[in-house]
Amino acid sequence: MAILGHRSRLLHLTFLFLATIFNSNCSLSLSSPTPNQQLLLLPLKTQHVPHPSSSLPRTRASAAAGGSKLPFRHNVTLTVSLSIGTPPQPATMVLDTGSELSWLRCSSPTSQQPVFRPLASKSYSTVPCSSPTCAERTRDLPLPASCDASKRCHVVVSYADASSAEGTLVSDTLLIGPSARPGFLFGCMDSGQSSSPEEDAKTTGLMGMNRGSLSLVTQMGVGMFSYCISGLDSSGVLLFGDAGFDWVGPLNYTPLVQISTPLPYFDRVAYTVQMEGIKVSGKVLPLPKSVFEPDHTGAGQTMVDSGTQFTFLLGPVYTALKNEFSGQTRGTLRVLNDPNFVFQGAMDLCYLVPSARPELPELPEVRLVFRGAEMSVPGRRLLYRVPGERRGSDWVYCFTFGNSDLLGVEAFVIGHHHQQDMWMEFDLERSRVGFAEVRCDLASQRLGLG
């Protein structure tokens, strides 16, 4: 599936691709990378950008976008800065583990939007629609490729917020880290409809990182990658390759869900795990495990996605969590009783916090229970201050779990807000996702990136 495409936010966690091979001057112990794979270490930075109105209407996602997509309306996005072409052209791309096709904007309706200029690259080439590449490498895309008027391989991507992009499948040289990788396949998009002009002015496109045949991970032959996003400052790290850090501690692993039969609402190339329950302050929500399992259509899968900010749960699970959290915080938090305010169209549990004393009280811990592992969401991650939203002298804070049903989306999605201060490892070779709690700001410093 993919969850989102790219859109606007308050912060941009920017992956500055000043990638370097991890060298012997570092004091950390690393396991050896596979013979054909370089170990790439990349720093994370943050930058503030303007935020549009945060009071979004209650709207259903377009059915045509597919049941496994979520709207990409949030305040934080992860972006990667790299170069493509000969000579190299800089590109800033949204990093999305929930999407497959990487794409660049090749034309701009406004001169302010960054674009890739294909005619300026000597290594650029288009993919004919009659080629095996067009027929075979696009098989995992939600919409099949077709022929355009010039017999080129035409591709379309669409997202549940009604944004879309379409253009031609092309290849060019990708410069990532210290080496050039010729023949990188991506979409050169010349038309589309965006829900975020603010972000379009800052990004060139999107980088797909799921397990599909066209994703960056697959094309690079990467067997493992990891990232760590700080919840305290602007630091962080992205790592390609298999590296063992003795200071991270043992990771908790949960297997990726695999299915052999195609189902209409199941994304087989997403990072799908099996959620089995939720705890609030140690209390297990009274829900059968069956509510977390995909049904006969594939609806109800659980995806780990860097392209989504918050976490979204199907209606019955969301309601149970909302009621339990509300009960445990009754008398501690003041509820915002405004039925017309729903943050990001799916987050309807919000609170008032005095702006003069904005510190939050101690809140209960939520634990997401997966097959073989549990992920802790501490109280400080459970409420998010809505940028620019006030009621008199009070700030508006909203619960950081949303209701998938309000979006018309049949999926559970674990967003990157709840992945903060976690070492997140995506192990494709062993078909699993691992995570461990760690101070990501200290991790960056320890790796020499602070």
Residue ranges of domains in the chain, CATH in brackets: 11-240 (2.40.70.10), 252-446 (2.40.70.10)
pLDDT reading at 90 higher than 70: yes
Res 190 pLDDT > 50: yes
Higher-pLDDT residue of 23 and 434 is 434
pLDDT at 408: 83
Phi-psi region of 252 (alpha: psi -120 to 50; beta: other; left: phi over 0): beta
Per-residue pLDDT band at 72 (split at 50, 70, 90): very low
**Lowest-pLDDT choice from 11-20, 22-31, 167-176, 356-365:** 22-31
pLDDT higher for 59 or 215? 215
Number of Cβ within 10 Å of residue 431's Cβ equals: 11
141-160 pLDDT, tens digit per residue, is 888 899 999 999 999 987 65
pLDDT: which is higher, 437 or 407:
437
Check residue 59 and give its pLDDT: 24
Enzyme catalytic residues:
96, 305
The dihedral region occupied by 331, where left means phi > 0, alpha psi between -120 and 50, and beta the remainder, is left
Query: In this model, does residue 398 exceed pLDDT 90?
Result: yes
3-state secondary structure 314-357: CHHHHHHHHHHHHHHHECCEEECCCCCCCECCCECCEEEEECCC
The confidence score (pLDDT) of residue 303 equals 96
Convert the pLDDT of each residue in 295-314 to its tens digit.
999 999 999 998 888 999 99
The predicted model gives 221-236 an average pLDDT of 83
Query: Residue 447: its pLDDT value, please?
Result: 77
Q: How far is CA 222 from CA 36, 79, 81, in A?
A: 9, 19, 19
DSSP state for residue 218 in the 8-state scheme: H
Mean pLDDT across 65-89 = 59
Cα maximum dimension of the chain: 66
pLDDT score of 256 more than 90: yes
Q: Where is 198: in which H helix or E strand?
A: helix 197-200
